[in-house]
Structures are given as structure tokens and as C-alpha cells.
């Protein structure tokens, strides 16, 4: 409801201004012409006029504060309700019960002071959060360890390349019996370790955003495009980790959906074939099998079948020839 009101704020303010002007003009005309009505009419009319004015003032205050201090948005509805109640309370006291004017002054002054302190506190906390986020972003440029892992990762998987599934399975479970003869080059080991390091860094950012310790807007502007490519390059690493436990790298999935219009390759293709536009597998399939010490036996079985089939065909042809030429197959007398 609040989001809808916020999106239509200018329209609502315009409508309220029109209603307010109409009510004020009508009230003036009633007084000038000394129109005689029921005893309750003016009280109800004035109450409606005051409610409209209080609604306009509260909505306008929320609108201006939201634009100037956007970090206060979560609690601005409460702020608007307080302003609205204060206006109506002041109207009631000043018109119907003057004995509570002192108490009204204390309530209004205390409410204004409290709301001012609250806005100052929120904006100060948001400023500190942005400073901390900026330090995190700058650390990606100055941290030697981050830059080393980034270079190792992008050296192998830059552009349209992605990490192969077999390497990701080996990275996830290197002690599996089928990898007993694996001899993965240091370049590839450093590359896949660098990729995992970068993934862990973005997992840290995601958890910081969830806990409201980091400024999401600043991080999104800095890393939105990079994260989309990172998910594609590390598709099989994320997929294998999620198969083991869906809590692994769940922050990255959360950010991918949040920053890419609810689209995440891993979540979309978790139980289906990999996406067709995932890119080029690097290294090649043959190189991967050689690194991991896995023999490719897919080409040997068809050859055996073809040889066996050809032998059967030769025997059948020989039998047919023997039937057509029985004299040649008979033993000499």
C-alpha cells in the first residue's frame, strides 16, 4: 500500500490540493453569506477540512523527506501517521478543550524533537554504511591477494569461456576414486581456486547487504555486470555446491536474482540441462580428460561392434557362396 502511495504521490498531492481549495472557498462563502444550517453541519465540515489539511501536510512532509533523505524510507509511514495525528490532536484541543494547550505544546515539541533526532540518526548510520562500502570496493583495487586471484581466474576464463563441469566436480571432491590418476596443472588449479575466492568475496557482499551493513545501491552500480558474467563462468561450481547443500553460495543466487530482474542461471537450470548460451568450455574436453586421468572409452565400443558385425557378415557371405557352389566346398574323392 505504501509503495503504491509513494508511486502516486504527486497525483495524490494534486488531488488533495484541489479538494482543500474547494473546501476553503466553500467555507468562506458560507461565512460571508451567513448560511443557516443544522447545528452539527459546521463542526463536521470543519473536521473534514482539517482532516484533508492534515493528510496533505503529512503526505507532503513524507514526500520531501523521502527525496532528501532516502535512507529514512522504511519508517517514513510511521512519521507520516505521527504528523497526521498531531494535526488532528491540535485541532481538537484548540477548538474544544483549551485547558490542554500546555500538554499539547509539550507533546508537539517532544514529537518534533524525537523525529528530528531519528532522521539524524538514520542519515548518520547510512553515511557510515556508504563509507564502509566504499572502502570494501576500493579494497578490490588495492588488495594484492584479491588481484592475484582475479588474474589467475580471468587468465583461463575470460570473455565467453566458462569452467568445465568435470573440473568443478574434481574441485568439489578431489578424493573420488575416479580422480586417483589426476594431474591437474598448477595454472588450472590456481585458476579454479581464484574463481572460488572471487565467489566467496561476493558471498560476503551478499550477506552484508542482507544484514544492511553494506550499501546495496553502490555495490550494484559497481558489480552488477561483473556478477552476471561471474555466475555464467562459475555455473558448474555453483551448481555442484548447491547440489551438496543449497545454503552454499545462496547469497550469490540471491544477488543474481535481485540485480538481474529475478533471473539466475543456476536457479533456472538447477534440474535441467545447462543453458545454451553459457559459452565456450575451456580447456577442451580431451585436455580435461587427460588432466583428470580419465580414459575416454566412448570410441572403443563402437569399433568392437563394427568388427564383430563385419565378421558375422563375412561368415554369412561365405555360407551363401557354399550353398551356390556345393562342388567347391565338397572334399576331393
For residues 152 and 127, membership in a common domain is answered with no
Same domain, 48 and 184: no
Whether residue 32 lies inside any domain: the answer is yes
pLDDT (0 to 100) of residue 135: 94
- Same-domain status, 77 and 203: no
Distance CA 77, CA 328 (A): 107
> d(Cα 172, Cα 185) in Å, to the nearest integer?
17
Once rounded to an integer, what is the mean pLDDT over residues 211-232?
A: 91
DSSP H/E element including 199: helix 186-210
Task: Report the mean per-residue pLDDT for the chain.
Answer: 84
Task: Note whether 48 and 162 are same-domain residues.
Answer: no
Question: Is 25 in the same domain as 166?
Answer: no
Split into its structural domains, the chain has a count of 2
| 216 secondary structure, DSSP code | H
Calculate what percentage of the chain has a pLDDT beyond 90.
40
pTM for this prediction: 0.70
Model pLDDT for residues 262-287, shown as the tens digit of each residue = 788 888 888 888 887 888 888 888 88
231 by Cβ neighbours in 10 Å (0-12 / 13-18 / 19+) ranks as buried
Output Rg (C-alpha) for the chain, integer angstroms: 38
User: Which letter does DSSP use for residue 278 in this model?
Assistant: S
Judge whether residue 174 has pLDDT over 60.
Answer: yes
What is the grid cell recorded at 147?
588481484
Residues 193 and 282 in one domain: yes
Whether 323 has a pLDDT exceeding 90, the answer reads: no
pLDDT band at 298 (very low <50, low <70, confident <90, very high): low
Q: Point out which residues pair with 280 in neighbouring strands.
A: 161
DSSP string of 136-191, one letter each residue? HHHHHHH-HHHHHHHHHHHHHS-TTEE--HHHHHHHH-TTSGGGTT----HHHHHH
Tens digit of each residue's pLDDT (9 = 90 or more) over 84-93: 999 999 999 9
Identify whether residues 116 and 172 lie together within a single domain. no
Specify the DSSP class assigned to residue 331. Answer: P
Q: CA separation (Å) from 233 to 14, 159, 185, 260, 276?
A: 51, 9, 20, 16, 13
Q: Residue 78 belongs to what domain range?
A: 2-131
Domain match, 126 and 163 both: no
Query: Does a structural domain hold residue 319?
Result: no
Residue 14 lies in a domain: yes
Nearest 5°: phi and psi at 281? -75, 130
**Gap between the Cα atoms of 162 and 182, Å rounded:** 20
Judge whether residue 300 has pLDDT over 50. no
Residues 120 and 152 occupy one common structural domain: no
Is 243 within a domain? yes
Quick one: pLDDT at residue 4?
61
Would you say 250 and 257 are in contact if contact means Cβ atoms under 8 Å apart? no
50 and 84 assigned to the same domain: yes
pLDDT one-digit tens code per residue, 40-86: 888 899 999 999 999 999 999 888 888 888 888 888 888 899 999 99
Q: Residue 311 domain-assigned?
A: no
Nearest to 195 by CA among 155, 239, 150, 251: 150
**Residue that terminates a domain, selected from 131, 156, 179:** 131
Residues 64 and 199 in one domain: no
Q: Is the pLDDT of residue 224 over 80?
A: yes
Instruction: Look at residue 10 in the predicted model and tell me its pLDDT.
Output: 85
Same domain, 149 and 287: yes
User: Could you give the CA distance from residue 12 to residue 6 in angstroms, rounded to a whole number?
Assistant: 9
Tell whether 242 is covered by a domain: yes
In a domain, 324, yes or no: no
Amino acid at each position: 500500500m505504501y509503495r503504491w502511495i509513494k508511486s502516486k504521490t504527486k497525483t495524490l498531492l494534486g488531488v488533495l490540493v484541489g479538494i482543500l481549495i474547494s473546501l476553503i472557498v466553500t467555507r468562506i462563502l458560507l461565512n460571508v453569506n451567513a448560511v443557516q444550517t443544522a447545528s452539527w453541519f459546521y463542526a463536521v465540515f470543519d473536521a473534514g477540512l482539517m482532516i484533508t489539511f492534515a493528510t496533505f501536510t503529512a503526505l507532503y512532509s513524507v514526500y520531501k523527506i523521502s527525496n532528501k533523505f532516502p535512507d529514512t524510507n522504511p519508517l517514513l509511514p510511521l512519521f507520516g501517521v505521527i504528523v497526521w495525528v498531531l494535526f488532528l490532536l491540535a485541532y481538537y484541543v484548540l477548538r474544544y478543550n483549551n485547558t490542554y494547550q500546555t500538554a499539547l505544546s509539550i507533546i508537539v515539541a517532544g514529537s518534533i524533537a524525537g523525529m528530528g533526532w531519528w532522521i539524524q540518526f538514520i542519515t548518520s548510520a547510512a553515511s557510515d554504511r556508504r563509507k564502509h562500502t566504499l572502502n570494501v570496493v576500493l579494497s578490490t583495487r588495492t588488495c594484492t591477494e584479491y588481484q592475484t586471484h582475479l588474474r589467475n581466474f580471468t587468465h583461463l576464463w575470460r570473455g565467453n569461456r566458462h569452467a568445465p563441469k568435470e573440473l568443478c566436480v574434481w574441485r568439489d571432491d578431489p578424493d573420488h576414486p575416479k580422480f586417483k590418476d589426476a594431474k591437474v596443472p598448477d595454472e588450472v588449479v590456481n585458476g579454479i581456486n581464484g574463481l572460488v575466492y572471487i565467489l566467496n568475496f561476493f558471498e560476503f557482499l551478499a550477506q552484508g547487504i542482507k544484514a544492511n551493513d553494506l550499501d546495496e545501491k553502490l555495490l550494484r552500480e559497481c558489480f552488477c555486470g561483473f556478477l552476471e558474467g561471474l555466475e555464467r563462468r562459475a555455473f558448474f561450481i555453483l551448481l555442484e555446491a548447491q547440489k551438496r547443500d543449497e545454503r552454499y553460495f545462496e547469497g550469490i543466487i540471491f544477488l543474481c536474482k535481485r540485480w538481474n530482474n529475478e533471473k539466475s542461471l543456476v536457479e533456472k537450470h538447477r534440474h535441467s540441462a545447462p543453458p545454451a548460451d553459457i559459452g565456450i568450455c575451456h580447456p577442451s574436453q580431451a585436455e580435461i580428460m587427460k588432466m583428470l586421468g580419465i580414459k575416454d572409452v566412448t570410441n572403443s565400443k563402437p569399433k568392437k561392434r563394427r568388427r564383430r558385425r563385419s565378421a558375422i557378415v563375412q561368415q554369412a557371405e561365405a555360407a551363401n557362396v557354399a550353398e551356390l557352389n556345393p562342388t567347391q566346398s565338397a572334399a576331393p574323392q
